[in-house]
Every structure is written in C-alpha cells, then in structure tokens.
Amino acid sequence: MSIFILGLGNVCALDLSLASSEGPSSELTRLRMTLSRSDLIATLATVFPHLPQNKVDQAARTLIDQMTEALCAGQRIEIRGFAAFSLRHHPPAVKRNPKTGAAVHVEAKAVIHFRPGKELRNRVTEHTKYAARGDGRPTPQS
C-alpha cells in the first residue's frame, strides 16, 4: 500500500507495506503501546532522509488534516490494505441513567467507525499468534 504525499514541491510515495514487520517503528511499538503523531513524523523522517524535518512534519499534519476534513464533510476514507473510516449516525434518543433510573435525553450524533482492512487484520492475527508464545517464533499448528 502506498500513500502519495503532495505539496512538498514534488510527489513522494510513502510505502506503508504491511508485508514487512520490521522497520523504523518496530522497536518503538515493542517498547510502548501508543504510536503518537511525533512518532509517525520521526518514522517518516527516517524513511525520507532527503526531506527537511519541517516538510516531513507538514506532510504528516496535512495527511491527518485532510482525513479529518473528509470525515467532517461526511466522506468515507479508504486506505486499501489498512482501513476504512466512515461515520455512523445515531438518532436522538431517550436513555435511562442506570443509577437513578431518570430519563436522559441524548442528542443525535455522528460516531467515527473504523473498519480494518484484510491485510491489517491478517498481520495483527499473525502477530498475536507469535506474541502469545513470547519468543517471536510461530506457534506450532494443531
């Protein structure tokens, strides 16, 4: 899977292939459970050393901003192999407070729905099989 980053004076292709488990962020994700925006920017800077840090930061922020704007406009985002993001609309409803039993009016809202792609699901499944064993090797098939 590739994402093309525009607006940097030229077009850069960022290969986000899920086939390779090793990469600049692999060690990072083993140490911490959260990948932050700054971690993403650091990884992009490592992958594209020819780009200045401020351009890498601008590219990452632009990507996130474009995704946010698309969702706010009600559009669906699909990144093949990774995931799809869409909105689910919940109508207004009357709910009950479980502690007091009082009626609570809940306004209509849109909730972001994340649907992982097949490639991501398969990779996570394989990773959890190996992680359960604890030594990084595949578990014996039964």
pLDDT at 106 over 90: yes
| Beta-carbon contacts of residue 37 (< 8 Å; ≥ 6 apart) | 60, 61, 64
Q: For residue range 35-67, list pLDDT tens digits in order.
A: 888 998 999 999 999 999 999 999 999 999 999
**Domain map (residue ranges) of the chain:** 1-75, 78-142
User: Who has greater pLDDT, 84 or 9?
Assistant: 84
Q: Residue 42 in contact with residue 93, Cβ under 8 Å?
A: no
d(CA 99, CA 103): 11
Q: 33: pLDDT confidence band, cut at 50, 70 and 90?
A: confident
Which residues, in sequence order, are bridge partners of residue 110? 89
Cα 29 to Cα 60, 74, 110, 131, distances in angstroms: 19, 32, 31, 13
> Between 4.10.520.10, 1.10.274.10, 3.40.50.300, 3.30.450.20, what CATH number should domain 78-142 receive?
4.10.520.10
Q: Please report the pLDDT score of residue 138 as a whole number.
A: 55
Above pLDDT 90, what percent of the chain? 56
User: Who has greater pLDDT, 15 or 48?
Assistant: 48
Q: Residue 44 in contact with residue 64, Cβ under 8 Å?
A: no
The model's pTM: 0.62
Q: Count how many residues are written for the chain.
A: 142
Q: 10: pLDDT confidence band, cut at 50, 70 and 90?
A: very low
pLDDT at 127 over 90: no
Strands 83-90 and 77-79: antiparallel
User: Who has greater pLDDT, 4 or 26?
Assistant: 26
* 24: three-class secondary structure by DSSP: coil
Cα 88 to Cα 72, 76, 81, 100, 109, distances in angstroms: 12, 11, 21, 29, 8
Q: Please report the pLDDT score of residue 70 as a whole number.
A: 95
User: Who has greater pLDDT, 28 or 88?
Assistant: 88
Q: Please report the pLDDT score of residue 135 as a whole number.
A: 57
Residue holding tokens 């207004």?
A: 92
